[in-house]
Amino acid sequence: MITRTENLPNGASLSWPEILESLPFNTDGLLPAIAQQYDSGEVLMLAWMNRAAILETLSTGRVCYWSRSRQSLWRKGETSGHHQYLKELRIDCDGDTLLLLVDQLGPACHTRRSSCFYNAVRSDRVVVISAPLPP
Amino acid sequence: MITRTENLPNGASLSWPEILESLPFNTDGLLPAIAQQYDSGEVLMLAWMNRAAILETLSTGRVCYWSRSRQSLWRKGETSGHHQYLKELRIDCDGDTLLLLVDQLGPACHTRRSSCFYNAVRSDRVVVISAPLPP
């Protein structure tokens, strides 16, 4: 159903509850979700959301993922305090990926780096391109 | 093995060929890859790469994905001409997601929008927030 927006003009809209029910969750009931810092544009991390995580994120304004390793809802920042405040949830053209524009409190990465993408492939080396934020 | 970079200082490096062999590809041999426009920071799309797609992308400098629907290598822009030129390939802290900094020629999305993420959830509606680029 999300593909029905493809030919709509800028500003047109469809029902979110109806689109949510038709999103193509994978066989584990999950969609990948990219978190991007809303003002700087920095891509922070990728994690996974199920239907419950999406609904909780929208209702609380704090990002909640599904932890595949723990098989439970993962309220980002629950233990670290490094919450992600949702600015906007976006959906791609075929509905199988989410983009979360967020305001990240502290580092997004468990290594205390601002982003999880701190490894860069440069010729035959993988180079660390950022340092952990100070405590 | 990629997790060994976690405690390395900024600028330190490890062998890319060795890290490539140890990346945690999923059961289909794939990793999700986020494409981001290198200068504007716009998140363009998410697609999937296998080992061969990664190696081809790095050797040619043009992004090549794995098409899950066609079950074949997908050289982005092959039919549309909308190539993605690779600026840098990054790997996240646990090695299960790639971030491609690219220079996108023309629109990234098959709808001719610059990004695939043109659907925004706003209260109970999904709103189209961009228009196709002119031909």
Could A126 and B16 be called an inter-chain contact, meaning their C-beta atoms sit closer than 8 Å? yes
Q: Are B34 and A34 a contacting pair, CB within 8 Å?
A: yes
Amino acid at B83: H
Q: Are A100 and A34 a contacting pair, CB within 8 Å?
A: yes
Closest CA to A65 of A115, A100, A104: A100
Partner A contacted by B134 (CB < 8 A): no
Partner B contacted by A21 (CB < 8 A): no
Q: How far is A98 from chain B (nearest CA, A)?
A: 8
Q: Could you tell me the two tokens for B16?
A: 């890319």
Distance (Å, whole) CA B22 – CA B1: 6
Q: How far is B128 from chain A (nearest CA, A)?
A: 5
Partner A contacted by B32 (CB < 8 A): yes
pLDDT band at B135 (very low <50, low <70, confident <90, very high): confident
Query: What chain B residue is nearest to A46 in terms of C-alpha separation?
Result: B97
Q: Is the pLDDT assigned to residue B120 strictly greater than 90? A: yes
Q: How far is A16 from chain B (nearest CA, A)?
A: 5
Residue of A94, A120, A131 lying closest to B90 (CB–CB): A120
Partner A contacted by B8 (CB < 8 A): yes
Residue of A89, A122, A128 lying closest to B9 (CB–CB): A128
pLDDT in tens, B21-75: 999 999 999 999 999 999 999 999 999 999 999 999 999 999 999 999 999 999 9
Could A88 and B121 be called an inter-chain contact, meaning their C-beta atoms sit closer than 8 Å? yes
Answer whether 0.90 is exceeded by the pTM: yes
Q: Are B23 and B31 a contacting pair, CB within 8 Å?
A: yes
Distance (Å, whole) CA B95 – CA B98: 8
Could B34 and A46 be called an inter-chain contact, meaning their C-beta atoms sit closer than 8 Å? yes
Among B126, B129, B133, pick the best mutation site for testing chain A contact (most A Cβ within 10 A): B126
Q: Are A63 and A57 a contacting pair, CB within 8 Å?
A: yes
Q: What is the pLDDT along chain A (135 residues), one digit of tens a residue?
A: 899 999 999 999 999 999 999 999 999 999 999 999 999 999 999 999 999 999 999 999 999 999 999 999 999 999 999 999 999 999 999 999 999 999 999 999 999 999 999 999 999 999 999 999 998
Could B10 and A128 be called an inter-chain contact, meaning their C-beta atoms sit closer than 8 Å? yes
Q: How far is A97 from chain B (nearest CA, A)?
A: 7
Could B97 and A111 be called an inter-chain contact, meaning their C-beta atoms sit closer than 8 Å? no
